[in-house]
Each structure stands twice: as C-alpha cells, then as structure tokens.
Structure 1
Amino acid sequence: LLGAKFIGTFPIPDTYNPDDDKIYFFFREISQDSGTSDKTILSRVGRVCKNDMGGQRSLINKWTTFLKARLVCSIPGPEGADTHFDELQDIFLLSTRDERNPLVYGVFTTTSSVFKGSAVCVYSMADIRAVFNGPYAHKESVDHRWVQYEGRIPYPRPGTCPSKTYDPLIKSTRDFPDDVISFIKRHPLMYKSVYPVTGGPVFTRINVDYRLTQIVVDHVMAEDGQYDVIFLGTDIGTVLKVVSITKEKWTKEEVVLEELQLFKHPSFISTMEISQKQQQLYIGSRDGLVQLSLHRCHTYGKACADCCLARDPYCAWDGNSCSRYAPTSKRRARRQDVKYGDPVAQCWDVEDSISHETADEKVIFGIEFNSTFLECIPKSQQASIRWYIQRSEEEHREEVKADDRIIKTEHGLLIRSLQRKDAGAYFCKAQEHTFVHTIVKLNLNVIENGQMESTQKTEDEDGRMRDLLTESRLRYKDYIQLVSSPSFSLDEYCEQMWHREKRRQRNKGGAKWKHVQEMKKKRNRRHH
C-alpha cells in the first residue's frame, strides 16, 4: 500500500462456513506507472480472512491472505476514451435478503483540477468475489507493466482462508506452505478490475461548483416497483435526494427529488447516517449535526398532479393530500407513478387537478427604471419553466424571451430597468414530459417614476406636519392644565416650563460629559 486512505471496513461472510468469513476494505491509494514518475490515485477493494493470524516463518504478525483489486467508476467514451472518477470518497452497503450479497454503493470524484465531477457507482459482491477468484497481476520489476500471471499457482490458492473443512492439515494461516506466503507477498494485486453492475454510474454531477462527499441509501417499496433512494452529501453543505429509474431497453434516468441547503454557510458534510426505524437522516459537519426526515411529502403541493410529478417513491396522493405511501394500504385513491410521473394517467378523475388550474395569483408593484423579481419555484425538480405575458387589453399571451434586461433564473424572472411596457399578467408554466400546468399568475403594475417623486415630496411634507402636530399637542395639554386648575397660576406654569428646559439641557450635557469621562478612562488604561 502506498499513501492509502481507508474509507470503509465491513465484515461480509462469503459462505455459510464461518471459517471462510472475510473483512473487506474500501480505500484509495497512489499508484505509480512503470517507467515514469507520474503518480495516479486509484480506488481499491481489499480483503483479508477474519481468522488470519500471520505467518510462521515469513509475514510474522502480518496479513498472509491480503489481496486487492481496482474499483472502476467511469463513463464509457468513444474509442475507449472513458471519463474516470478515480477518488473514492464514501461507501455504503445496502442490505439485501441475502446477508452475503449486499449492494455496494460508492461515491467517486475526479482527480483532475480542470474537469470537476462526481459519480455514484454500484457494485455486486458476486462481481467482487469473481475478481478475487480470477487471475493475479504480475510485475517483473518496477520498470515493467502489470500483466496477467501465467505461471503455477501454489496450493492452497493464495488468499484462501484456512479451514478444517477445506483442508484438515491447514488449521490456521501459520500452517500455510512457504511458497503460498512468498507468492502472496509478490502478487497482492488482482489482474482484473471490478466494474459497476450497470456498466457505468447511476448518478453523475459534472461541471458544478461542488463535489459529492457522503452517501446513504434506502430501499423503498412503491406502487410501481422497488427503488433505491440515494441521499448524497456535498462539500458545500447541501444534501441531494436522488432516485435512478430503469426505463425501456435498460436505460437509466437520473431524477433529483430534492436539493436542500442544511447549513447557513457552506460546510463540508463529513458524515451521514440513516435510521430506517426512525425514518430519519443524520448529517454531520464541522458546523453541527442536522436531523432530516427521509420524506417530506407535504412540500409537493396540494394537488394530485403535483404529487404525481414529484416522483418520490415515499409519497402518494391519498385523495386529500400528498402523504407517505404505505404498501399495505388498501385505499383505492392512492395515486403514484415514480417511473413516468404521468399525472394525466393517474389524476384524470381528480377534481381541481387537471381540468381546473389552481395556480396562485398575486399582484406585484414595480417602480419604473428599477429592478423587480417575479418568483416562481416549481414543486418538481424535473420541470422546465416557461414564462408568458398577457398585456392589458390584449387577449393573446406571448412567451417572455430572455435578453440583457430580462434574466431567467431557477427561482424566477429578474427584470432589470423596469419599463411601462412590462406591465401585464405573467404566467409561470411548468412542463414535464407532455404535461403542462400554470404554477403562478403574477399581475405586474408599473408605477411611473415621476409619480413616485411627487409621492416622496408629499410624504416629506406630511412628516413635517406630524412633527408640528406632536409639539402642539404637548402645548395643548399644558394649556388645559392651566385653564382647568384655578390654583395653578401663570407664574407657576412659567416656572415649570423653565425647570423642564433646564432639565433637558442638563441631560444633553450629561450624556456628553459621560462620553468624555469614558474616553479619559480608555486613555488611562492604555498608558498603564
């Protein structure tokens, strides 16, 4: 091992014989190519027998059954020019009905500083075992390349666990013959690599301003099948909730269900744990620990179409709201379509869903020559947004085209230097597959700049009048007291006013004197 960084260690039984149990290591290490000084980082899976006690004459107190193989996560390219994600960041083992064959999910990133990307690849334990049972890699010297070993393989096969049922004479690793020990010292690497079960990544993020760092997976039962929901942490403190859907001809569709910013400031997510029992996700970074529910069905809106378009395996329309889907539920009203997200097929008979558009309607005021923002955030991450404007006294709607003045963002429409012609009704429409619906209608009113200036002058005059009225009210109270009290003479009133003025002057001066004293104290402290 050279500069190894260990990511995860898992005990996984290989057979029903406990003597054959192994520990699997997932790590990345530096690999130096032959004849050059170039060093590359490669991801590996290694294994060692659980009952490995070291050798008798060689490899004393060291592993005698350790083998390793390369983990490949790449996007196939033309003429073998694959895009490789070589740096393993995290590993998650998803349990299946067979404890010997969990699915291995890995997060990988690119080593290039120019091409920035992350990927999720899935491996089967059957493929990993097949590589360890395959040919060994051989290298004549440091200057030679790795080739497949073609020579004689000693008995028992190097990497095999000692077992009474396998060979009664070999009860422990100390009973291994010398040729087995010397062979594994020279040939710890397997010639073949382990490839993903799908041939490539199930999810990628390329040329974005973040990298994936952590992964946990939940196996979820839905109305139209079973899905592995993937939760991914990033180096900027966000969590992605993703599902990879197998379509016709075994093609894969990546669907981002949610993308949440968990921390106030960008923070590297260093750990993630999942609790199926509590249905909670626990995310840790240097800024703290966050608890997050695996499903938040209420955020997908209050209509059957919105719930269906979300394509979240956890959620289904129950006739009244978007709620947690239960496979045991016998309610006929449960509507869910994760594979296609087709609300027309699912919600055709649901009121206020397809035939009746229930878009929010708001009135927005903007000032001429100023900027204004029209917000529109679709419930579904997969929806594409289009904006349309219907000007007053016009029946037709025209699509809003982006330019230097009108900028389309993922959260809405930004209009810089608002003009009078921009006034009208704006319709934000979301399209997903063939289904189109209006999310929000915004009635934009443009206030002329000259009108705003006259309004400002009026407000300034109103402010001065309010000050005069306040002062006159105080005087009025004094006059009432003077008139209503026969014993209260004009001289007494004048004296009271004189004292009030003296007190006000003293308070003003006192505050100033207190400030001077504080400054003197600070200067004295500096001298000492």
Structure 2
Amino acid sequence: MEQLAGVFDGRFKEQKSPESIWTPVPDEVVPKPRPGGCAIQGTKFNSSNSFPDDMLTFVKTHPLMDEAVPSLGQRPWIVRTMVRYQLNKMVVDTNAGPYGNQTVLFLGSSRGTILKFLVTPNRDNTVTNSNVFLEELEGYNPDRCGTDSPQARQLLSLTLDRISHSLLLAFPSCVIKVPVARCQLYSRCMKNCIASRDPYCGWTRGSTCSFLRAGTRLPFEQDVEHGNTSHLGDCDGKSKFLLQQ
C-alpha cells in the first residue's frame, strides 16, 4: 500500500501531442488542490462540487501517473509467449481445491479462450518460478452464439460462480457457462489425473478422476505441489491404475 500511495502522490504523465513521447508533468503546472485528492470538511473545498474547473480538466486529460506500481518480486508472475491474442479479463479463485487453500487464476483472451494457472507464491508473497499452466479452456461456442467471428468472440466480462463451480463468459451475442475444471479428461488414468496438478481434481476410490468440492469426505489422491507420478505406470487408455503402496 505504501508503494501504491507513493506512485499516486508522485508525478503525472502527459503526451503533449499524438506524436510526442510521454513525459512527466512539472509540479509547478499541477493545479491546486492537487488532482486525486478528496474534499475535506472545514476547508475551502469541502465538497467535490466546489473543485475548480482547471482541476477537473486536468484529471480528464492526465489519467496516467509517471511511475508504475511494481509487482511483487519485481518481475511478472506469469509469462506466456507465442500467442496471437490479448489477455483482457481475469478472475481468481483463492479457495480452490478440497481444502480451500489453493489459488487458481483464470485469464480471458480476446479470442474467447480461458487460460488457467495454478499460482503458488512464496511464504512472503513474492513471485515464484513454480506457477503452473494447467490448461486452456475453449469458452466461445459458435453453436450457442450463432456466429463465429473475431468480433463475436470478444470477451466482454468474466465472472467466477463459486456456487456452481463455473465461469460465466459474456460475449456480444451470448453468455456461456464453463466448468472451472474438466477432471473427466483424466477419468480413467490415475497418472494423468495426479500429473495434472489441478487442485479441483483428485483420484477417488472409484478409480476415476473426480471433481473435489471443498470439504469433501471422499478419500482421494492428489499431488498439487509436485505432481509426482514416478510410482505409477503409464496409461494405455483402458487400464485403471491404483496407487502403489
């Protein structure tokens, strides 16, 4: 919070013309009272209605601050390369998994897909190298939405519905509901289920990869931290593998 306050108390940024580079605004040309401050009772400006016009104009024309708020660890938490779309929506489930102690990040893209990551910060909440890309979910459905084009695939909003364990994706012509996990993809292969490291999924006694609700009483096997499968045999698409004792 100190870093946030420091940036917003710092210099503003401006572009004097569309062809100009962005430069800091000199302190002496910033109007008084300083834009971004609150009206204070008992002063000349005890209501936002009393702010002078030059201050309000400055706010409209200077939406950026000169300094950036640094990320924890001073570097990106997640890096995704070789993609041809923009990531423009984000929701976070900080209570994922049967124990409610895992963090899963969902990033919505401009082509209607969702990237799903397991985020595992260090004890001091700094960035770690162990953030895991779990899967890419196809959110847009041409059959449901009636058309398929870059404009139709523009993701307008992304919401996490915790009750139904689903993501709600709003597009220009439709709303799509997508489950937060597809454990059935590993339903008959214990090795793939454990290796997925998906906190929503676990290998249950019925020899299947099942969705694990918070506080479940089902006995299950799961290794979100490491995804260790060295004790398991390979999957052949038909066999069911039990945990070796």
TM-score using structure 2 length: 0.67
Q: Kindly indicate whether residue 143 of structure 2 is the aligned counterpart of residue 257 of structure 1.
A: no
Partner Cα separation in structure 2 for residue 227 and residue 250 of structure 1? 13
Q: CA deviation at 1:314?
A: 1.3
| Structure with more of its chain in helix, by fraction | 1
Q: Which runs of 5+ in 2 are unaligned?
A: 143-147, 239-245
Q: 1:227 aligns with which of 103, 108, 112?
A: 103
Aligned to 2:210: 323
Q: Kindly indicate whether residue 89 of structure 2 is the aligned counterpart of residue 203 of structure 1.
A: no
Q: CA deviation at 1:199?
A: 3.1
User: Higher RCO, 1 or 2 (CA under 8 Å, sep at least 6)?
Assistant: 2
In percent, how many aligned pairs have the same letter?
23
Partner Cα separation in structure 1 for residue 2 and residue 209 of structure 2? 39
Aligned to 2:225: 339
Cα deviations across residues 298-335 of structure 1 (Å, max 9, x unaligned)?
A: 2223343322111112122333332233443455x433
The number of residue pairs the alignment matches comes to 220
Going from structure 1 to structure 2, the CA distance change for 1:234 and 1:170 (only over 3 Å counts) comes to: closer
Q: 1:160 aligns with which of 37, 54, 65?
A: 37
| Structure with more of its chain in strand, by fraction | 1
Mapped contact 2:89–2:109 kept (Cα < 8 A): yes
Partner Cα separation in structure 2 for residue 239 and residue 144 of structure 1? 34
Mapped contact 1:215–1:233 kept (Cα < 8 A): no
Output the amino acid matched with 1:158.
Answer: P
Mapped contact 1:308–1:337 kept (Cα < 8 A): yes
Q: CA deviation at 1:160?
A: 1.4
Going from structure 1 to structure 2, the CA distance change for 1:297 and 1:203 (only over 3 Å counts) comes to: same
Q: 1:297 aligns with which of 163, 167, 183?
A: 183
Mapped contact 1:269–1:283 kept (Cα < 8 A): no
Mapped contact 1:279–1:293 kept (Cα < 8 A): yes
Going from structure 1 to structure 2, the CA distance change for 1:286 and 1:328 (only over 3 Å counts) comes to: closer
Partner Cα separation in structure 1 for residue 122 and residue 21 of structure 2? 45
Q: How does 1:84-483 map to 2 (within 5 A)?
A: 127-137=3-13, 146-147=23-24, 149-151=26-28, 156-164=33-41, 167=42, 169-176=44-51, 182=54, 185=57, 188=62, 189-222=64-97, 225-235=101-111, 237-246=112-121, 250-261=127-138, 262-264=140-142, 265=148, 268-271=153-156, 272-285=158-171, 288-320=174-206, 321-329=208-216, 333-344=219-230, 354=232, 357-360=234-237
Mapped contact 2:13–2:66 kept (Cα < 8 A): yes
User: How large is the Cα RMSD of the aligned pairs?
Assistant: 3.8
Structure showing greater radius of gyration is: 1
Going from structure 1 to structure 2, the CA distance change for 1:317 and 1:247 (only over 3 Å counts) comes to: farther
Going from structure 1 to structure 2, the CA distance change for 1:144 and 1:310 (only over 3 Å counts) comes to: closer
Q: CA deviation at 1:154?
A: 7.2
Mapped contact 2:34–2:55 kept (Cα < 8 A): no
SS at match of 1:229: strand
Output the amino acid matched with 1:304.
Answer: M
Q: CA deviation at 1:202?
A: 3.2
Going from structure 1 to structure 2, the CA distance change for 1:134 and 1:148 (only over 3 Å counts) comes to: same
Partner Cα separation in structure 2 for residue 190 and residue 212 of structure 1? 23
Q: How does 1:7-26 map to 2 (within 5 A)?
A: none
